[in-house]
């Protein structure tokens, strides 16, 4: 914990001295609420596609990439599957398993 305090105080000291960094830091602080709104909208989009995936692919038998960890049978696993697909981790295997 002490290391992070020192790091934070050093960063703040640098920002206070440099005028350009102060402007960048203030711009970042001012834009945080807007970024939170965008993150919330993206979260809603993932939830929408999770429900759509449960509706379309919830009754598919588990095989290949669709296993007990990645499927659309329950909301929790469907949400985690959507997050996995959104990061690009094996989404093509899941897509091929759903097509079969």
| Mean pLDDT calculated for residue range 17-22 | 83
Asked if 81 and 95 touch (Cβ cutoff 8 Å), the reply is no
Report the distance separating Cα 16 and Cα 71, nearest Å: 50
Name beta bridge partners: 66: 63
Q: Is the pLDDT of residue 17 over 70?
A: yes
| Mean pLDDT calculated for residue range 45-70 | 93
pLDDT score, position 18: 82
Give me the number of domains the chain comprises: 1
Expressed as residue numbers, the domain containing 16 is 2-99
Q: HSE (CB half, 13 Å, CA atoms) of 87?
A: 7
For residue 100, the tally of other CB atoms under 10 A from its CB is 9
% of the chain surpassing 90 pLDDT: 61
């Amino acid at each position: 914990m002490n290391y992070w305090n020192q790091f934070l105080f050093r960063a703040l000291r640098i920002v206070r001295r440099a005028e350009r960094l102060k402007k960048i830091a203030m711009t970042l602080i001012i834009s945080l609420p807007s970024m939170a709104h965008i993150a919330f909208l993206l979260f809603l989009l993932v939830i929408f596609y999770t429900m759509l995936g449960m509706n379309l692919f919830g009754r598919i038998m588990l095989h290949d990439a669709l296993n007990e960890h990645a499927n659309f049978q329950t909301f929790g696993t469907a949400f985690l599957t959507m997050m996995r697909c959104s990061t690009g981790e094996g989404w093509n295997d899941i897509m091929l398993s759903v097509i079969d």
